[in-house]
Structure 1
């Protein structure tokens, strides 16, 4: 009991002393501001009506976006210009952010890697909030299926480079900041040169090899990394290599299996989910740039959109023997430029270059045009679509039978019955062909392998799947 009272007494004494010191600090700050104002001199030629003007026009066209508040002509040494005070006044009113936070942000440079679902809100908010120099790097063009989540782009920019679209949007929001667009895919050969120019890096990409590459690059150049990810209905983010936090390789010394690394082009993503994570990435980048608040160093935020739950988990610390950030690391910039990240992770940096699997002999495959001729000639056949059911509901070739690949083995008796019924209904009396289809021609090969192992010796798949059908046979077929 006595120990508890002593502990409470000590806590009260500390709180009392803190209160007293804060009051003294506020009094000192007030005296400093008073003395600074007494030292200021009204600029020559600013008085009377000129000093009271609300706005002035520079070399721009006088539109609202180009107007600037003149203020009263006074500013303390090292203070913010009048137009910045007006633009960022809601920031300046925050006691924990204020003039010093805005000054630090305006002097910082931040690189956003990726102008997609994550990069869109990151770039927009950093531009709006007044980062001094905003770099955006992306090698892709805007596509129509980007727009449900990549809110920085407009329909008018479809087919144009994402960096041009993103940079234009950021300049429209804030013409007073510097925006640099790097129209490249970030690779080991150019990453060091680009990243070196910035104070902070935001990873807004969606693939495993690029995550490793950006993290390694930031360690080599000693840059903090704000990393986010969003897939389906979930998202996560953390800050690597800052204030003692681990790098990406500390958490994943070996790449996870390829099957565990899905992309939104394969698994989908609800548009607002990368928006939520991207906003939080912008927040973390601002906190790192201004030293305001507690960044997510050594912690990871996990977001579940369906349940609207956010939880934060503690990460293990940096590995002393990490091959990149460890004390005895011998990984150099030259090693980085030669490192094959796609081979290391066994996955491509771009889903547009994703290699197709090649599991079947040539005589077990047909092209989409071959299948069209089979249909036009009225040859008896059964078209088996092995995509998941929700994919089948998006679009399908009619008539076709849907058995998802994951259920195919247990549904083999049903398939055998359907083949017999197809043959019985055929006037030609010929044994019906079994043709297998999927989205891109990969799962269909796995399905044919399974079918042939279980007695369906004539099963064949369509090369390239529905994508090839839409490209080579039916241009109006809905591609997704």
Structure 2
């Protein structure tokens, strides 16, 4: 490592990798270099840097754009998803014309258009325990732009094993957080999150929503943290987590410490290789349980079949009860006419509002929460006939 300026952390970039800036580069990046803490040497380090962004979605979009604009020499992007129109409210790396295309292809084109001097390395595949060490090895900094706990734990463990700083970010509704996990100089992801939350305990952005500008704020801050690690001389968010509430316009700092008994980065680690992170986070077993319930013991109805019943005169509220178990803000956006509404968390305590003599057709966004609602009602002793709408309101809209 090469010492940075002042009392800040040293740069991650060995100065042996640096070369003089060209006249064109001095002009293009002059506003960076004019910052005394960056200067020409800092810009050389930015150009020599290799930064990997995992996820070209809400957080990855601003991070990729600002890192490319800053002149990062080699920019890696990993994502296995395709662009959807519903992404565009927050995933500013992509355009309407890119809908249906792989995100890595859209990202490559956006970076090339913004700064053709940046070398772009893209991989269209999911990060797994089988490929993570290969895909992450050799990068100076990794930025976590993912949105699920299995991949976050996978990234956290892999970066500790490889000795790579991990810039973490997360968003939900209008709350965001940013920190840097660097096991050599501070805590790792598992120091702060020793065990995953119970499946379903933390809603996804698809369920709870996210204010579109918030990932822009957090993703840009992740890019800033990566650049600070590269330039040197700064105080990155190591041992500190910045919490941002965009709705209230407030930010707070939370100190986070290294756990000496951490199973990954502690003094006597017990995790020395990557594990099955789907099993660790319970997502695989929960998905299997949901599928098993729906396929073996639960009555189901397709959106097309429900539409046919309505067209034949079997109306919600008259022939059967149609129950929406989504959250109120979801119902406000779209619903099925004639449906009653009880959020999943309240469905057991409010089961007295339901008529067990009528068939209960339950739906949610995609069919998972409604299956859980039916299972919870059965466990609570509700003995009326219940049916799950396959695919939820997404399938309902698609069948129109």
TM over 0.5: yes
User: Which secondary structure does the structure 2 equivalent of 1:466 belong to?
Assistant: helix
How far apart, in 2, do the equivalents of 1:310 and 1:432 lie? Answer: 50
Aligned to 1:442: 368
Aligned to 2:246: 305
When residues 364 and 177 of structure 1 are mapped into structure 2, their CA distance, relative to the original with a 3 A threshold, is closer
Once the two structures are overlaid, the 10-residue window that deviates more, 448-457 or 216-225, is 448-457
Aligned to 1:343: 279
Contact 1:242 1:297 in 2 (8 A): no
Aligned to 1:173: 114
When residues 181 and 376 of structure 1 are mapped into structure 2, their CA distance, relative to the original with a 3 A threshold, is same
- Give a deviation string over 1:243-288, Cα, whole Å, max 9, x none: 5111111222222222333221121111111110000000000000
Deviation at 1:168, TM superposition (A): 1.2
How far apart, in 1, do the equivalents of 2:348 and 2:25 lie? Answer: 66
Is 1:323 matched with 2:263? yes
Deviation at 1:415, TM superposition (A): 3.5
Larger RCO (CA under 8 A, 6+ residues apart): 2
Deviation at 1:443, TM superposition (A): 2.9
Deviation at 1:432, TM superposition (A): 4.7
Contact 2:351 2:382 in 1 (8 A): no
Deviation at 1:215, TM superposition (A): 1.2
Name segments (4+ residues, structure 1) moved above 6 Å. Answer: none
Aligned to 2:336: 397
When residues 374 and 451 of structure 1 are mapped into structure 2, their CA distance, relative to the original with a 3 A threshold, is farther
Is 1:377 matched with 2:317? no
Deviation at 1:369, TM superposition (A): 3.8
When residues 78 and 465 of structure 1 are mapped into structure 2, their CA distance, relative to the original with a 3 A threshold, is closer
Which entry has the higher C-alpha Rg, 1 or 2?
1
How far apart, in 2, do the equivalents of 1:346 and 1:261 lie? Answer: 13
When residues 451 and 119 of structure 1 are mapped into structure 2, their CA distance, relative to the original with a 3 A threshold, is closer
Deviation at 1:411, TM superposition (A): 4.0
When residues 398 and 325 of structure 1 are mapped into structure 2, their CA distance, relative to the original with a 3 A threshold, is same
Aligned alpha-carbon RMSD (Å): 2.5
Deviation at 1:441, TM superposition (A): 2.2
Aligned to 2:302: 367
Contact 2:163 2:184 in 1 (8 A): no
Once the two structures are overlaid, the 10-residue window that deviates more, 230-239 or 254-263, is 254-263
When residues 413 and 354 of structure 1 are mapped into structure 2, their CA distance, relative to the original with a 3 A threshold, is closer
Aligned to 2:21: 80
Deviation at 1:306, TM superposition (A): 1.2
When residues 321 and 389 of structure 1 are mapped into structure 2, their CA distance, relative to the original with a 3 A threshold, is closer
Deviation at 1:302, TM superposition (A): 0.4
How far apart, in 2, do the equivalents of 1:190 and 1:441 lie? Answer: 31
User: Which secondary structure does the structure 1 equivalent of 2:130 belong to?
Assistant: helix
Aligned to 1:149: 90
How far apart, in 1, do the equivalents of 2:74 and 2:338 lie? Answer: 56
Deviation at 1:242, TM superposition (A): 5.5
Once the two structures are overlaid, the 10-residue window that deviates more, 280-289 or 172-181, is 172-181
Deviation at 1:401, TM superposition (A): 2.0
Decide which of 218, 231, 234 is 2:175's aligned counterpart: 234
User: Which secondary structure does the structure 1 equivalent of 2:154 belong to?
Assistant: helix
Gapped regions of structure 1 (runs ≥ 5): 1-21, 23-76, 420-430
Deviation at 1:364, TM superposition (A): 3.9
How far apart, in 2, do the equivalents of 1:243 and 1:447 lie? Answer: 45
When residues 165 and 292 of structure 1 are mapped into structure 2, their CA distance, relative to the original with a 3 A threshold, is farther
Q: 1:181-196 to 2 correspondence within 5 Å?
A: 181-196=122-137
Deviation at 1:100, TM superposition (A): 1.2
Contact 1:208 1:261 in 2 (8 A): no
Decide which of 373, 381, 385 is 1:458's aligned counterpart: 385
Decide which of 61, 64, 82 is 1:120's aligned counterpart: 61
How far apart, in 1, do the equivalents of 2:144 and 2:372 lie? Answer: 34
How far apart, in 2, do the equivalents of 1:409 and 1:188 lie? Answer: 38
How far apart, in 2, do the equivalents of 1:94 and 1:129 lie? Answer: 13
Gapped regions of structure 2 (runs ≥ 5): 1-5, 7-17
How far apart, in 2, do the equivalents of 1:369 and 1:362 lie? Answer: 21
Once the two structures are overlaid, the 10-residue window that deviates more, 217-226 or 448-457, is 448-457
Aligned to 2:14: none
